[in-house]
Amino acid sequence: MQDMAWVLTLFYQLFLGSIESRFIVFMVRMSWAFTVVQYQSLALLLENMSTHRFKFSVRNKIFCTISAIFTLSFLLISIVHFDCLRTADKYPFEFTLERISILFAMLPLILTSLFITTWKLYQKSLPRVLHKQLLILIAGIIIPFWLSDFLQVFPFAFSSAWRNTQYTLVGLSNILITGAVLYCSFRMLGLRFLNLTKEVQSKVNIHFMENFKVILDQFSHVSSLRELGHITQVFFKEAFGIQFNRVQLYIRSSNPARAAQQMSESNETISTRVELFMGTHQKSMCQFIKKSRVLVYDELAFSDFHEGTDKTSAALTFLDSIQADIFLPVYENNTLISYIVIDRHARFDELYNNTEYDEMLIFSQYLGNIIHLMQNKNLEEIIRQQKDLKEELYQKHQEIHQYKESIRSFMRAKNHKKIGIIFYKSRRFTFANQTAKELIPINPNLQDGHPITKALKKLALQVDEYKSPQTAYTQDAEGTKLVLSGVPSLEQNNVIICVYYPEVSDVIKKQMDILKDPSEWDYLLYLETTKPGKLINQLIPGSGETLLNFKIKLLKTALSKKATLLNMPEKDLVPTVEILHHISLRESLHVIDLAGPEKNFEAAVKLFGINAIFQMDKDSKPPLLERLDSIGTIFIKNIHYLSLETQEQLAEYLRYGFFKIFKSDHKIPSSVRIICSTNQHLTTLVQDEKFSRTLFEELKHTTLEMPSLMTLPKEELSTLAEGFSEQAVADQSLKNILSLSPRDKMRLAHQRPASLLELKTKIQQILIQKSKQNEIYDEAQFDPAYEVSDPELVEAARLGKKALKDQKIMTLLWNKFKNQNKIAAFLGVNRSSVNRRCKEYNLTQESSV
């Protein structure tokens, strides 16, 4: 009515001059009447909202009577004096009535109710939802209205000059007040204004599911009930901004006797009060909690303030007893299995809304399923079984891959269908067909020292001596195996030798009889035909029952990704680890060399990281198990030096595939391969409680023990020495001179080295000494890669200075050594050459990070 009166007045002023009409005067009188009604309504609204079960007081009745008198007076005047055409023609007492009515409405009427409401707000005796509503109503609507009317009336009151210049103020104030009313209306409707909704309203959080994916991932990694409390705190922190220490998860015991015992132990804990309430309330209260889904103190307080029931009062009393803002029950099959309690005033300046309740309920549904699963099933065992299945599946996949590679080696070319024939008579070899010349690229009559010539002569002599078929194996120029099959001829002193590439049966039949487990015949195939098998044969080039079975065990270990404990001479550890790492197709190898007992949990911090609370270095790197996930191998030398706490945490990682941040419950999945070694008898350490029994149980099934050279059969040691001898000499024409004699082998058998590395070194020294005795040291070409154990560096070692021209190899060397001096020493070149190539290929510390 006020705005309509102003609009009509302005319309007449702008377009009709100063002409007035009885209708305008009538509308002005009506606006005065409704101004009193407006202030009386606002006063009653304030007191009604802020008073529990509001009733009319004497003051309210008096003020309502006075307001009714003013309103009726203006209405009566507007009807009786309807013929009034101008403001100046009004009754004289009407101006006095206007002054008195506006003073009454703006001062005693509204200010009294405003003071009473403000005092209640100050005392904080109202529910928080109502508190928010009243603040919005007072600050956004009542005070702007009051100030607008105050500026229109005071201090110039009814001055004609002020009345002619206040149109601008009226227009601006109406625009601002209209905007304020719209804004406050939306805000108050969202805060359950007039109890139109049952919950505080809010917009849907469209990013909730993106954040919830992280929680679901954490749920999939849980292995104990204790971890759920941390996940719950993280969820409420990230989703609702509630501090960790203000959120608690309580899991009810599935054993009634244990629950009763816990209640009898303490009468002050929250869980005890909750159990007491759950055990004593009426059945209708159970239905109320299930229907409400979540008990929110602010919502219940607001509902109880205006429409209180026995159930809301009981729920409020319960929340007061546990000092909680929210009680979130977690059900599974209509049974309360746990609950989440959020402390009072955990989020002091912000109310919870319906969207957040839905998010909490979604979380509680998943939480209930996890708790039910863990209480009724051994989840830790399930997780372990899942990890074991993954490892077994990985090993089967690797075995299938090796099998395919082995079959491809037989089917790669048609060469295996060709058979060369050689006659041996009167100590001379004669090629009977073209295939024999293709398979044997040398002249065995002239090159006596060549390995193929040696194999042919040995076979021919055996056939001639025993007059029975014999079979031997050698290699062609490319290192591919050849089968030499000799049979005696009908002619005297004549031997026929067939040369061909081996079939599957030839490879298996060769060593099948010396296998401990005949079912492992397929690994015989892999050792002879696949790249991993050839690497292992290069590491251990001997044959015989002991060495063969160890090589098979080494290959099986390499094809697996289970943690491995190495029990072998210290000098053989690194070559073996490099072979296992290379066959596993992993990129990074990190070595933790423990020279003594672990101090200050240094190894634990490296492996697992540490809780941010205890972290001193702000720029510290992520833990190794996180950095090397899926791409790395960690070799822990002398694992018995780890502290017991670190051993237990490492055992948990090996068992479940997840590691905990040190001094924290936070778990992170990882698939880093762990290889470790020890020179101690772990069984004794376990009995003396100096080594973790849990870690020992994890490692004892995957222990790889190298046979001692001290007890190795003499024949196998001889084949091992011959294998290293052939690897050492690169020039095939000199292998007849630079080879081990029976006397050399006898000396090695009597003075046996402790490790493979020592044996290789001794053999190399013997060959170097022979080359000097025969005055061919300068001509002899020893293999540069003989002393290199890392498969990735073998090619670089053989290329020597030529490797400088290959950017890929130089990048590999830089990533391995991270030092130009070491690269120069490895390749046998000047540092300046390496420096020039590093600049050309942009190999710097920054590029390798």
User: In the numeric block, which tokens belong to residue 754?
Assistant: 């402790």
pLDDT on residue 786: 63
Written in H, E and C, the secondary structure of 676-733 is EECCCCHHHHHHCCCCCHHHHHHHHHHEEECCCCCCCCHHHHHHHHHHHHHHHECCHH
pLDDT on residue 207: 66
Euclidean distance between CA atoms 828 and 836, whole angstroms? 15
Euclidean distance between CA atoms 763 and 745, whole angstroms? 10
Angle between helices 2-15 and 22-50 (to 10 degrees): 150
Asked if 106 and 146 touch (Cβ cutoff 8 Å), the reply is yes
Higher pLDDT, 190 or 43: 43
Angstrom CA distances, 598 to 593, 605, 646, 649, stand at: 11, 11, 9, 14
Classify burial at 163, counting beta carbons within 10 Å of its beta carbon; exposed 0-12, middle 13-18, buried 19 or more. Answer: middle
Confidence of residue 580 (pLDDT cuts 50, 70, 90): very high
Which pLDDT tens digit goes with each residue over 21-50? 778 888 888 888 998 999 999 999 999 888
Which pLDDT tens digit goes with each residue over 650-687? 999 999 888 988 888 788 889 999 999 999 999 999 99
pLDDT on residue 131: 87
pLDDT on residue 409: 74
Higher pLDDT, 286 or 573: 573
Q: Which of 121-130, 383-392, 506-515 has the lowest mean pLDDT?
A: 506-515
Assess whether pLDDT exceeds 70 at residue 849: no
Q: What is the pTM of this model?
A: 0.60
Count Cβ atoms below 10 Å from residue 750 Cβ, excluding itself.
7
User: In the numeric block, which tokens belong to residue 555?
Assistant: 């290959």
Assess whether pLDDT exceeds 60 at residue 263: no
Euclidean distance between CA atoms 191 and 433, whole angstroms? 100
- Which residues lie closer than 8 Å to 651 by C-beta, 6 or more apart? 692, 694, 695, 697, 698
Return the C-alpha torsion angle 741, 746, 747, 749, nearest 10: 130
Angstrom CA distances, 812 to 582, 650, 794, 798, stand at: 14, 31, 12, 15
Which pLDDT tens digit goes with each residue over 732-742? 556 656 778 88
Written in H, E and C, the secondary structure of 138-191 is HHHHHHHHHHHHHHHHCCCCCCHHHHHHCHHHHHHHHHHHHHHHHHHHHHHHHC
Assess whether pLDDT exceeds 70 at residue 772: yes
Higher pLDDT, 348 or 397: 397
- Which residues lie closer than 8 Å to 72 by C-beta, 6 or more apart? none
pLDDT on residue 780: 46
- For 162-277, list the strands marked E by DSSP: 247-251
Euclidean distance between CA atoms 585 and 559, whole angstroms? 10
Assess whether pLDDT exceeds 90 at residue 619: no
DSSP H or E run through 228? helix 225-240
Classify burial at 448, counting beta carbons within 10 Å of its beta carbon; exposed 0-12, middle 13-18, buried 19 or more. Answer: exposed
Angstrom CA distances, 622 to 7, 50, 376, 625, 781, stand at: 70, 56, 36, 8, 47
Assess whether pLDDT exceeds 70 at residue 158: no
- Cα 229–chain centre separation: 18
Euclidean distance between CA atoms 74 and 97, whole angstroms? 9
Angstrom CA distances, 307 to 195, 324, 718, stand at: 9, 22, 98
